[in-house]
Amino acid sequence: MLAQKQVGECFMAITVAVSNQKGGVGKTTTALHLAVATALTGRRVLLIDLDSQANATTALGVPEATVEAPGSYHALINGDGISPRWPQATAIPHLSVLASSLEMAGVELELSGETDRLHRLRPVIATMADSFDWIFLDCPPSLGILSVNALVAADTVLIPVPPEQFALDGMARLTSTIERLNDAGQTRIEKPMILITMAQNWAPAKMKRALEIRQTHGEAVLVAEIPHSNALDEASGDRTPVFLTRPNADASENYLRAAAELIMRHEPGQSLTPENVEAMVAEMRQQMKPLVSRNAPDAVLSDPPARHKRHRRHRSRSGDGPKIYRSRRRLQQAIGASLLIIISLFITVLVVDA
């Protein structure tokens, strides 16, 4: 594919650590969907799963790593023994995953005595860097050895933050850790990026927090904002990226936009304009079509025109958005069905009487 070739010839992999020491803020969901969306442009993408829960691994249909099929744990422990053949291909073209496994839960303890314990991931990335254009790191929910390894190895950090105070506290601690690592010459991260996740634009307190995040952090915050989405929650239950189960959901659209923005902020020669983002999202949606029809033949992948219209339509088609909309729709369906039954009974009585 053209984009892949051009990118591949121009520079080595750009590595993004998706990190926030708080759990449940959308790190894995974000790393997974940005990796899939980026791969949809034809760029060669590697997702390195650093979490012992291996949710990113299994969401891509790849089994947890084993000694026979080694993954991120083995790469961190083995050092020089790592091979560029370890990443496993997924059902998404151009996307591979370096699988995690439960053993990762003990890796911090295993590495604690090693002098190079904070620099174990860098050589792993160096081994892979020629084979990929983008590498996403799904970090665990802590600021321990694994997360610091990711920060040290990354070119940039993306912090998923729901508009809630606890997540903002977590973000403050992470940014001060990055500053300290930067001062010590350990990292090359200029400015962390922030992605607002689980936004609820019908809840005043959450809207206010989201606005505060934008006012405080300015351009570091991606324009795309991920809504709190039942579609995403369901997709994670199905262990499938939301693009394939609910391609028209707001969450799908915004993860595509976030990925396009990320690419335009970091690749040389790209410029971040709304038109360029639209064009790249259209390209991603084009590549999604065969995958969607294979995975969810009933899902119609629309080519939405105006943005505001699209958002309104998604709510009714995809079942995305707040539960209240969905329950109202279910209530309407139930009333319709009841009316139909009453009319049928009425007609039956009339016929029997006659």
* Residues that bind ligand ADP in the complex, under the rule CB under 6 A: 23-29, 55, 141, 197-198, 226, 228-229, 232-233, 236, 251
Is residue 209 a contact residue for Mg ion (CB under 5 A)?
no
Nearer to ligand ADP, 82 or 221 (CB): 221
Question: CB under 8 Å to 102, separation ≥6 — which residues?
Answer: 52, 54, 64
Give the H or E element holding residue 113: none
Residue number with CB closer to ligand ADP (212 or 233): 233
The smaller minimum CB distance to ligand ADP, of residues 133 and 320, is found at 320
Which one of Mg ion, ligand ADP, none is in contact with 229 (Cβ closer than 5 to 8 A by kind)?
A: ligand ADP
- Is 217 a binding residue for Mg ion by CB under 5 A? The answer is no
| Residue 24, binding choice from Mg ion, ligand ADP, none, Cβ under 5 to 8 Å by partner class | ligand ADP
| CA gap 58, 46 in Å, rounded | 15
Q: What are the b/e assignments for 74-105, b being 16+ CB within 10 Å?
A: bbbbeeeebeeebbbebebbbbbbbbbbebbe
Given 27, 44, 217, 246, the residue binding Mg ion (CB under 5 A)? 27
221 forms bridges with which residues in the sheet? Answer: 194
**# binding residues, Mg ion (CB under 5 A):** 3
CB of 304 to ligand ADP, least distance (A): 20
Of 22-30, 157-165, 246-254, 258-266, the window that binds Mg ion (rule: CB under 5 A) is 22-30
Question: How many CA atoms are closer than 13 Å to the CA of 122, on its beta-carbon side?
Answer: 14
Distance CA 124, CA 290 (A): 33
Are the C-beta atoms of residues 71 and 64 closer than 8 Å to each other? Answer: yes
User: Are 197 and 18 contacting, i.e. CB atoms less than 8 angstroms apart?
Assistant: no
- Taking the complex as a whole, the smallest distance from the CB of residue 199 to ligand ADP amounts, in Å, to 8
Residue 27 or residue 246: which is nearer to ligand ADP going by CB? 27
- Report how far apart the first and last C-alpha atoms of the chain are (Å, whole number): 71
CB of 234 to Mg ion, least distance (A): 18
Torsion sign, CA atoms 15, 20, 24, 25: negative
28 lies in the binding site for Mg ion (CB under 5 A): yes
Q: Which option in Mg ion, ligand ADP, none does residue 197 bind, with CB closer than 5 to 8 A by kind?
A: ligand ADP
CB of 93 to ligand ADP, least distance (A): 23
> Which residues of this protein are in contact with Mg ion, per CB under 5 A?
27-28, 51
